[in-house]
């Protein structure tokens, strides 16, 4: 079974990957997702357990499906 930390790491790595593919900053992603910039950084570093609602906000801002943010 995958651990909580592994899930957070995977999600954070994928957020960073898709953000970089769009060539946007953490600040720009935060603006698009209506979240705080430091929160995005914490997500990318797997320091924050994210809610489903915020997962959807981030996925939408990155123009991907939530599933894409959870894939290896």
Is residue 1 over pLDDT 90?
no
pLDDT band at residue 30 under the 50/70/90 scheme: very high
Give the total number of structural domains in the chain. Answer: 1
Q: Which run of H or of E encompasses 60? A: helix 52-62
Question: Residue 47 belongs to what domain range?
Answer: 4-70
Task: Identify the CATH number of the domain in which residue 21 sits.
Answer: 1.10.260.40
What would the mean pLDDT of 4-26 be, rounded to a whole number? 97
33-57 pLDDT, tens digit each: 999 999 999 999 999 999 999 999 9
What would the mean pLDDT of 3-18 be, rounded to a whole number? 95
- Look at the alpha carbons of 45, 48, 54, 55 in this order and tell me if their dihedral is positive or negative: positive
At 66 the pLDDT is 96
Torsion of CA 22, 23, 27, 28, to 10 degrees: -50
What would the mean pLDDT of 18-31 be, rounded to a whole number? 98
């Amino acid at each position: 079974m995958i651990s909580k930390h592994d899930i957070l790491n995977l999600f954070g790595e994928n957020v960073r990957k898709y953000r970089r593919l769009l060539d946007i900053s953490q600040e720009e992603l935060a603006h698009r997702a209506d979240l705080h910039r430091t929160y995005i950084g914490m997500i990318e570093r797997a320091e924050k357990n994210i809610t489903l609602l915020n997962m959807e906000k981030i996925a939408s801002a990155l123009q991907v499906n939530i599933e894409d943010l959870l894939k290896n």
